[in-house]
Chains A and B, each alone.
Chain A
Amino acid sequence: MSEIDISMTINGQKVEGKADPRTLLIHFLREDQLLTGPHIGCDTTHCGACTVDMDGLSVKSCTVFVGQANGKDILTIEGMAEADGTLHALQTAFSDNHGLQCGFCTPGMITRAYRLLQENPDPTEEEIRYGISGNLCRCTGYQNIVKAIQVAAKELSSVKEAAE
């Protein structure tokens, strides 16, 4: 089968290449772009470890063909920190609040929480739990993940207020 041209923006950088159409976005990111932050947990669209941001929407990259992502703007966990290495408020909050144990689910959790806080900057605990219901964690029992997202939400809104 013929390869197709690939052109998309990943973490702010324009990426061009070629790929077999059956390549899944998660494989393109991990194996072609060497962005191994997004993980493959289930490969069946259940766990959310492969979550990335695509044109401002959280999606499971194990269930998107690379061609479907052509022309889109992709953000992975690698694009979350600032250029000088300053961590995003969510990354700091997960670290400070023990929002992870083995860390396998964390890139997907943070990428999803990032978009959730854009959609709803001041979520209730219930809205957080519902908002991350597509992301599974086998270690933490979610308690500290929810707490970390609450702390990050506060931090992000106080930074925003200070700027205004």
Chain B
Amino acid sequence: MIPGSFEYHRPSSLDDAVGLMSSLGEDALLVAGGHSLIPMMKLRMAAPEHLIDLQDVQSLKSISIDGGKVALGAMVTQAELIASEELCAICPLLKEASLQIADPQIRNLGTIGGNVANGDPGNDMPAVMQTLGATYMLTGPDGEREVAAKDFYEAAYFTAREDNEILTAICFDAPAKGHGSAYLKQKRKIGDYATAAAAVVLEISGGNCTAASIGLTNVGDTPLLAEEASAILVGSSLDDDTVKKAMEAARAITDPASDGRGPKEFRTHIAGIMVQRAIALAQSRAK
């Protein structure tokens, strides 16, 4: 499968990339790792006339951690996220989720920015970023703006990003010290998107849950932040009855498609199971 023809550009600064995006207009697409885009181009589901490769834009490649404030450059690869011990120490959720994405070769090229900008409900990082309360930094011809991860996703492949904007970084506050987190994903095989997956971050004090955040992957048109389910947990001892109520509240907001991964009802059922198990695992990890 040979993709359609395009002109290839490789700007070396963010300004040049933004300039190209504005002058080339909607016929241009950015390419980061290419591991969502090139498969789409092979299928002619994407046919850009210009491809703007961000690999030489050094300012997009850093992981910065400053007193609990984390900024991940858009061009940081999944493999680099996994390898960052400093990041893993304050937010192990990212490594755990990254290791469940695709396979080693794909993680070597696939980037965090491409993963969250893509807008495919199958991508794992969007729900993780919603769970962490992350903010996306966007730069366009009119300057920079911020959009919360929870407001970014509008429908499958439709996001709040304008065609001429570049997602430059993902920012979030590291979860509180002593928090427990987990990302659990049911998939048919390595390299498959989730049948359903859940991200959970919990804070526990004196046996009671004091803060909770739950996100869901691939059980709707967009990633889902399960706010009601999270609220149910807060103040409880995470007893079975409360966790069951939270599971049901999470299931209630799902609307998965029936596909090769199973009928809609099955995927909704699994979403609840992933939430239940991720809560238990996060609880066991909280200090």
Contact = CB atoms under 8 A, between A and B. Distances in A.
B38 interface: yes
Residue of A44, A45, A46, A134 most packed against chain B (CB within 10 A): A45
Interface string B13-35: 00000000000000000010011
Interface stretch (A56-64, A91-99, A153-161): A56-64
Contacts of B38: 24, 45, 63-65
Nearest to A57: B108
Number of contact residues on B: which range applies? 20 to 34
Given A60-B106, A68-B34, 8 more contacts: A1-B7, A21-B8, A45-B39, A59-B109, A70-B10, A133-B191, A134-B103, A134-B191
Interface in B184-204: 190-191
B188 to A, nearest CB: 12
Interface in A40-87: 43-46, 48, 51, 57-60, 63-65, 67-68, 70
Contact of B51 (A63, A65, A70): A65
Interface of B: 1-8, 10, 31, 34-35, 38-39, 42, 51, 53, 55, 79, 102-106, 108-109, 190-191
A15 B285 CA distance: 52
A70 B56 CA distance: 11
Contacts of B106: 45, 60, 63, 134
Contacts of B108: 57-59
A12 to B, nearest CB: 21
Interface residue tally of chain A, by bracket?
20 to 34
B8 A112 contact: no
A22 B8 CA distance: 9
B34 A46 contact: no
Contact of B55 (A27, A43, A68): A68
Contacts of B51: 21, 65
A59 B2 CA distance: 19
Contact of B5 (A1, A51, A134): A1
